[in-house]
Structure 1
Amino acid sequence: MIFNRDWSRTELIFIALFVIFYLIYLGRTFWYAYQLKTSARSAALKFFLRSTAMGALIIGLLEPSFGDPERELQAVGKDIFLVVDVSRSMDATDVQPSRLQRIKFELNRLINTYPSDRFGMIVFSSGTYLQCPLTFDRNALTIFIESLNTQMLTDQGTAFQPALEMALDKQSTDTRSNASKVILLISDGEDFSSVNTKTLRAIRRQGIHLLCLGVGTREGSRIPSNGSYVKDEDGNFVRTMLQSESLEKIASEAGGSYFEITSVRNDFPQLSQSIQQIAGRLIDQRKVSITSNRYYYFVILALILLSFDIMITVRTFRL
């Protein structure tokens, strides 16, 4: 038992006064009982009840707590970088309401599923931009996810290599965190560059888990644009299709996994479960006080004892 308050002079004075005056009262009661040749045993019982109740009240005022005074708590988690394709093809509607809108919905669910993990975000088309550094702030992450659109970057086209290089660099240089590292690459798979095998090997060698999510359909669809559809240089409507082979190859060479969202298939629950199965590493540990104040136990005991005291009468003479 631990007291949250220390004994003060005030408590000691009250205890001393209680003992002195009650001993005087008790002595007078026994003296009169002796003179009248009667018994005052009930007075002794009342003294026991009142002194015990007084002691219980004093202990209650000192706010006693029970439990282990300290316990070591450990925080275990992961650092997850979301690498999101924001090229024009992500506006395609072969996955409703559009590829990018569907991804935004799933990402909002993901970040709230793992509150102990840090999330960061990189957006890319042919260029790459750090949208959000690693953070626990879910409100900020939600704002960044909702702000995703295909007009964010002026360069069009899609290039995986710069985005993967940035994600690798951010995960490798963050020496302050000992968390497990995850990169989630999200795209329709249309890559107009080549991915350097050295980058994928570095991801694998450093123990970073690479997950690839393809979104779209193999039949594909046109890309909406200002009430019409995007056209190529010859004036023909552009048709964008899911290129799963490129994403599968990236995942395979980095020792990761590939998942899909199509019009008839949604692997996002499996992807989320894969993240859950990645063992988190120790992020922080600290000792915290976990004792619980139990003053009311003693107050209740005092009230019960005083109730018994009221029911007991002291009689020092007979009629």
Structure 2
Amino acid sequence: MGEFEFGASEKLWLLLAVPLILLIYWALLRLRNYKLRRMGNPATLKELMPDHSVARGWIGITLFALAIGMFILALAHPRTGAKLTHEEREGREIVLVVDVSNSMMAEDVSPSRMERTRYAITQLVEGMTEDGIGIVAFAEEPLVVMPTSMEYRMAKSKIKSLSPSLIENQGTNLHKAIETAALCFTSKKEDAKNRVMILITDGEAHDEGVIEAAKRAAGDGIIICCIGIGNPDGTTIKIDGEYVQDEEGKYVVSKLDEALLQQIAEIGDGIYTRSSNEEFGLDTIISRLDEVEKAKMQNIKYADYEEQYQWFIGAGMLLLILEMLLLPRRNPLLRDVRLFERRSDEKRK
């Protein structure tokens, strides 16, 4: 049996219902006792209700609350089997290298460069059937969002998280992004003809070493395709409804550096295309991908989980049955059995 976890852990907050049920019962019990005290002497009322048991009431409500807790745990999808397996498949390895710097929030491409990028690469992943996909986000520093795998559903989930908030230090460090992405491929170097890096950025690189990083990646047989997203003439950057300004109070202007991206694509034996409102540029990239040979690659596969919710449902049902079988009052046949009082009487004698 593998690691135990909850597939819908966000629902575990509902477990607060368990202590809440007990708290409500306690409050109602206090209210009931208050009303009874106003009706008459507690000793007299106890004689009038000899079969009433406070302890049984607490046991019953506790069983009910625990049953609710078990059903909530079942709702959170408890499961086992969280382990990774590696298998060899034949296909292409594609690593998406996505710029998440603040300049990607510019709205010269509708609705914004970032939104348009997320939508386009999601469409790319949806069309995949036998290619490995990896995701690297970058600003001033790169971040491996997802290692190369054929887990397309996970890839689409990770794509939704792409935004400037992923990386604290802002900027556009292309050479670190290329170097990090080059390490994400699992294919052996001798089978490197199937490895493709797709770089999506506004091309505003202010760091040195970009060309050298591209040459090293190309030397390892990695094909580099580039998509430039933005306006070569420049556009202001709007974030949360306000235009970004520099330290001098001037509006920051983001310009697409097409010459740099064209040079990177040429070095990497890939292709460069510019995104626009009409066409993101993926059709051009896909045409280049169709020319790439398929080769053996290591696919990281997540083992299927075994759902364990049935055990929690069963436990919840058992607790409810026990709660229903528990009589709220003392058994009248055993009412006169007072073993402890009897022993006390004998001691007094």
Corresponding residue SS for 1:133: strand
Q: Give the alignment's TM-score, normalised by structure 2.
A: 0.56
Whether the 8 Å CA contact 1:121–1:131 is kept in 2: the answer is yes
Looking at structure 1, the residues matched to 96 and 164 of structure 2 have their Cα atoms a distance apart, in angstroms, of 16
Q: 2:252 aligns with which of 216, 221, 238?
A: 238
From the superposition, tell whether residues 195 and 79 of structure 1 become closer, same or farther in structure 2 (CA, over 3 Å): same
Confirm whether residue 253 of structure 1 aligns to residue 267 of structure 2.
Answer: yes
Confirm whether residue 217 of structure 1 aligns to residue 267 of structure 2.
Answer: no
The equivalent of 1:104 in structure 2 is: 118
Q: After TM superposition, give the deviation of residue 224 of structure 1 in Å.
A: 1.3
Q: Which of the pair has the greater relative contact order for Cα pairs under 8 Å at 6+ separation? A: 1
Q: After TM superposition, give the deviation of residue 262 of structure 1 in Å.
A: 2.1
Confirm whether residue 186 of structure 1 aligns to residue 200 of structure 2.
Answer: yes
CA deviation map 1:67-115 (0-9, x unaligned): xxxxxxx953111110100000000010001001111111011112121
Whether the 8 Å CA contact 2:244–2:252 is kept in 1: the answer is yes
CA deviation map 1:100-142 (0-9, x unaligned): 1111111011112121001001110011111100111111001
Confirm whether residue 95 of structure 1 aligns to residue 109 of structure 2.
Answer: yes
Looking at structure 1, the residues matched to 213 and 297 of structure 2 have their Cα atoms a distance apart, in angstroms, of 26
Residue correspondence of structure 1 range 148-297 to structure 2 within 5 A: 148-171=162-185, 174-175=187-188, 178=191, 180-283=194-297
Q: Give the alignment's TM-score, normalised by structure 1.
A: 0.61
One-letter code aligned to 2:290: Q
From the superposition, tell whether residues 143 and 125 of structure 1 become closer, same or farther in structure 2 (CA, over 3 Å): same
Corresponding residue SS for 2:198: strand
Higher Cα Rg, which structure: 1
One-letter code aligned to 1:76: E
One-letter code aligned to 1:167: A
Looking at structure 2, the residues matched to 283 and 191 of structure 1 have their Cα atoms a distance apart, in angstroms, of 32
Q: Which runs of 5+ in 1 are unaligned?
A: 1-73, 285-319
Whether the 8 Å CA contact 2:225–2:268 is kept in 1: the answer is no
Confirm whether residue 122 of structure 1 aligns to residue 136 of structure 2.
Answer: yes
Q: 1:147 aligns with which of 161, 183, 189?
A: 161
The equivalent of 1:38 in structure 2 is: none
CA deviation map 1:228-284 (0-9, x unaligned): 110011111112121111111111222221111023554221111211221111459
Whether the 8 Å CA contact 2:138–2:173 is kept in 1: the answer is yes
Residue correspondence of structure 1 range 18-97 to structure 2 within 5 A: 76-97=90-111
- Quote the RMSD (CA, aligned, Å): 2.2
Whether the 8 Å CA contact 1:217–1:263 is kept in 2: the answer is no
- Percentage of pairs with the same residue: 28
Q: Which runs of 5+ in 2 are unaligned?
A: 1-87, 299-349
Corresponding residue SS for 2:177: helix
Corresponding residue SS for 1:170: coil
Q: After TM superposition, give the deviation of residue 199 of structure 1 in Å.
A: 2.6
Structure 1 consecutive aligned stretches of length 4 or more whose deviation exceeds 6 Å: none
Corresponding residue SS for 2:248: coil
Alignment length (residue pairs): 210
Corresponding residue SS for 1:101: helix
Whether the 8 Å CA contact 1:161–1:193 is kept in 2: the answer is yes
Looking at structure 1, the residues matched to 89 and 258 of structure 2 have their Cα atoms a distance apart, in angstroms, of 37
Greater fraction helix: 2
One-letter code aligned to 2:259: E
Whether the 8 Å CA contact 2:141–2:176 is kept in 1: the answer is yes
From the superposition, tell whether residues 133 and 207 of structure 1 become closer, same or farther in structure 2 (CA, over 3 Å): same
Looking at structure 2, the residues matched to 103 and 196 of structure 1 have their Cα atoms a distance apart, in angstroms, of 22
Whether the 8 Å CA contact 2:232–2:255 is kept in 1: the answer is yes
Q: After TM superposition, give the deviation of residue 212 of structure 1 in Å.
A: 0.8
Q: After TM superposition, give the deviation of residue 204 of structure 1 in Å.
A: 1.9
Whether the 8 Å CA contact 2:198–2:224 is kept in 1: the answer is yes
CA deviation map 1:25-61 (0-9, x unaligned): xxxxxxxxxxxxxxxxxxxxxxxxxxxxxxxxxxxxx
The equivalent of 1:44 in structure 2 is: none
From the superposition, tell whether residues 266 and 108 of structure 1 become closer, same or farther in structure 2 (CA, over 3 Å): closer
Whether the 8 Å CA contact 2:137–2:145 is kept in 1: the answer is yes
Looking at structure 2, the residues matched to 277 and 110 of structure 1 have their Cα atoms a distance apart, in angstroms, of 16
Q: After TM superposition, give the deviation of residue 178 of structure 1 in Å.
A: 4.9
From the superposition, tell whether residues 265 and 139 of structure 1 become closer, same or farther in structure 2 (CA, over 3 Å): closer
